[in-house]
A = this chain, B = another copy of it.
Amino acid sequence: MTSMDDFWAVIPAGGSGTRLWPLSRRSSPKFLHDLTGSGQSLLRATWERLAPLAEERVIVVTGQHHAEAVRAQLPMLHRDAVVTEPSPRDSMPAIGLAAAILERRDPGAILGSFAADHVITEVEAFHGAVREAVVLARRGEVVTIGVEPTHPATGFGYIRVGEPLGVEDAPSGRRVREFVEKPDAATATKYVESGEFRWNAGMFVVGATTLLELLAQTHPELTATLRIIASDPRRISDLWPTLPKVAIDHAVAEPAAAAGRVAVVPARFGWNDIGDFASLATILAEQDGAPPLRVIAGEQDVVAIDSTGLVAADSGRAVAVVGLDDIVVIDTADALLVTTKERSQDVKRVVEELQRRGLSDLT
């Protein structure tokens, strides 16, 4: 097994998770919560998963309002290891800034970007995939990890996998033919049946300098600005607001794939991005011995009669559910949500309505 001394884990910890309201709030986004009842927050679980590979070499990029909570959950991080964004600018500026910081520290640094709010099971398989990805990244590839689909999901993008790369120490590595957007159900079924596609889990492993060079091809000004901030962190407050909001997929991954510069390590492990309560309920239902109505986060009494779905309760009150299938009940100290798995996507409309009513403090 080769050394991972050049590998740095970057954890972008952003997004308010409005479809997980009222568990997730702008002031307390989902990565700070233990949504799955694992005993630790999604952020902490992400760190625990990466520490065996990256050891001390972990950087979290987060909003300035969440920096304190991030440091509290990850007290082992050096102060400089929590990079704060003055305002959300999507994934490219966040990951790009980390790359610019790492490039200055170690021109050969390999950066792996892993969202703070994903759930991964079968960690050994994940580690194996990352190790192979680092090998490929050292060769100048932009490397993504392609998760083997377990069902024709319509909520994820897909990666179309090409020919094997034949690289020693990275035997799974293949060329990426293309990234494709979230498909409809029929297309998703075709993708999964073809065996050619993997889920795009949004994980990228790439040399810090390689990433910035590729970014410079499509966004030279953004790249230059990120390097200025890395060299003089005091400039962030005046320069950050000038940056465009852009995702790493559009800025780097898709153009690089079109140019034949992206590799994928296909891998088989449990993965979910917990986009909404439906996906959370699915994760929980897959756990061993899960009762039909799954209860999380609660110390209190829950009475379920002829019901299935999900109850998340941290208000301390008793909760009773009678005669409802695939119900979602989220019971917090200041807000209650009642919906169904099927309608979980529409929870963001509640957040919008609360903001419209001037009740942003609840969102």
Q: What is A's interface to B at a CB cutoff of 8 Å?
A: 21-22, 301, 303, 305-306, 313, 315, 317-324, 327, 329, 331-340, 342-343, 346-347, 349-350, 353-354, 357, 359, 362
Contacts and interface: CB of A to CB of B under 8 A. Distances in A.
A281 to B, nearest CB: 15
Contact of A323 (B322, B335, B346): B346
A336 B321 CA distance: 8
B322 A339 contact: yes
A303 B336 contact: no
Contacts of A323: 339-340, 342-343, 346
A334 B320 contact: no
Contacts of A327: 338
Query: 8 shortest A-B CB distances, which residue pairs?
Result: A323-B343, A322-B339, A320-B350, A318-B335, A319-B336, A320-B337, A303-B353, A321-B338
A293 to B, nearest CB: 11
A125 B202 CA distance: 70
Contacts of A347: 320, 322
B346 A338 contact: no
Given A303-B353, A354-B303, A322 B335 contact: no
A338 B327 CA distance: 9
Identical chains bound together, number: 2
A303 B327 CA distance: 17
A331 B306 CA distance: 20
A323 B337 CA distance: 11
B305 A322 contact: no
Contacts of A329: 336, 338
14 contacts: A306-B346, A315-B317, A317-B332, A317-B336, A318-B336, A319-B335, A320-B339, A320-B354, A321-B337, A321-B339, A322-B349, A324-B340, A327-B338, A338-B338
Contacts of A350: 303, 305, 320, 322
Nearest to A358: B301
A336 B302 CA distance: 9
B305 A320 contact: no
Nearest to A338: B321
B305 A334 contact: no
A335 to B, nearest CB: 4
A162 to B, nearest CB: 41
A354 B321 contact: no
A301 B354 contact: yes
B331 A336 contact: yes
Contact of A322 (B306, B324, B333, B338): B338
A277 to B, nearest CB: 10
Given A322-B349, A338-B338, 9 more contacts: A21-B320, A22-B320, A303-B353, A303-B354, A313-B336, A317-B335, A318-B336, A319-B336, A321-B339
